[in-house]
Amino acid sequence: MKKFYLLVLMFISVNTWTEEGQITRLNGIDIWWEEYGERDHPTVLMIMGLNSNSQVWPEKFIQGLANEGLHVVIFDNRDIGKSSWLTEEPGFISFLKILPTFVIEYFVDFTLGFMFDEQGRFNMANPAPAEYDLNDMALDGIALLDHLNIKKAHIVGASLGGMISQEMTLNYPDRVLTLTILMSTPGFDTPGLSGPTESFKQSIKKSFLLNLLEKEEEALLVSEIALKGTRFPLDHDKFKDQAKQRIEHGINTSNAQMMAVGASPNRASRLREINLPTLIIHGSEDPLIPLDHGIFLSENIPNSKKLFLDGVGHEIPDEVLSEIIPAMIKNFSF
């Protein structure tokens, strides 16, 4: 009888209202989502990146698109935010947190030794077992469109979201009107493309350690500083408020999203299959996914447009929305 109830839940949608947005049972899991603008207007589905819930999207970005007469939908990817957390903190991590700091530091150094390959790129050769992959995450977005009775949408993905949006466009092109890829990659292991900067690798170490010491806000600050380019300085007071909002919305530091990347095929050889209007947006000083990844995407997706932002890192500053939004609207208007 219990199995029967679980089976039924997989085939029905159950909405639960939260303070903002709502949670719906989709693709076998709970997905938190929120919409802006009129549902009968063209839809923009926005997919956020690794370890980041939907609150990372700048409010001015969302409202700017909605003000252009678009129906904007954001959601939390699986394993983050208020969507289902499919992976829990391993018992040994919980135990590690109560040990002396020098032991935790040793563990961090040991772990990071396996994170990068000989070329200094993220190691995708022997990924840990993953419960899901990027196609599963793409299907979460498709299921949300189905729930909203939307046949096609403009798909916008940032970082990991850009990888998911590529999967969606390659595997389900009939659901995609246009594609916009922000600061992303065809695959971390794409031959000839560079890995993260050394300074960013050090920030990974610091933020990992701070998370193990249960200093989430400090860990977010370390990452944010490392991700920024030189063009726009960080507003610490503003970011402090944003960090609290992200933490309150839910950050699963034990999520399996990076393992999902490793469990998914590199997309470099398939990029020429994309025949929809595509816009590539990338910062010239991106320390996590360097600019050569964006250049590769733009050179291998036929007829794609590009917007490379000088002095911008792995970020979406409010100051460049005046460049980003018009470029996106032009791509939407194909």
> What is the tens place of the pLDDT at every residue in 12-27?
334 544 557 999 999 9
Is the per-residue pLDDT at 201 higher than 80? yes
Could you give the dihedral angle defined by the CA atoms of residues 302, 307, 313 and 319, in that order, rounded to the nearest 10 degrees? -150
Q: How far is CA 96 from the centre of its chain?
A: 28
CB 77 within 8 A of CB 140: yes
Domain ranges in the chain are 41-334
Report the CATH architecture of 41-334: 3-Layer(aba) Sandwich (3.40)
> What is the tens place of the pLDDT at every residue in 62-77?
999 999 999 999 999 9
pLDDT category at 5 given cuts 50, 70, 90 is very low
Residue in 275, 207, 216 with CA at minimum distance from that of residue 244: 216
pLDDT at 92: 80
> What is the tens place of the pLDDT at every residue in 102-131?
888 888 888 888 889 888 999 987 656 788
> What is the tens place of the pLDDT at every residue in 221-246?
999 999 999 999 999 999 999 999 99
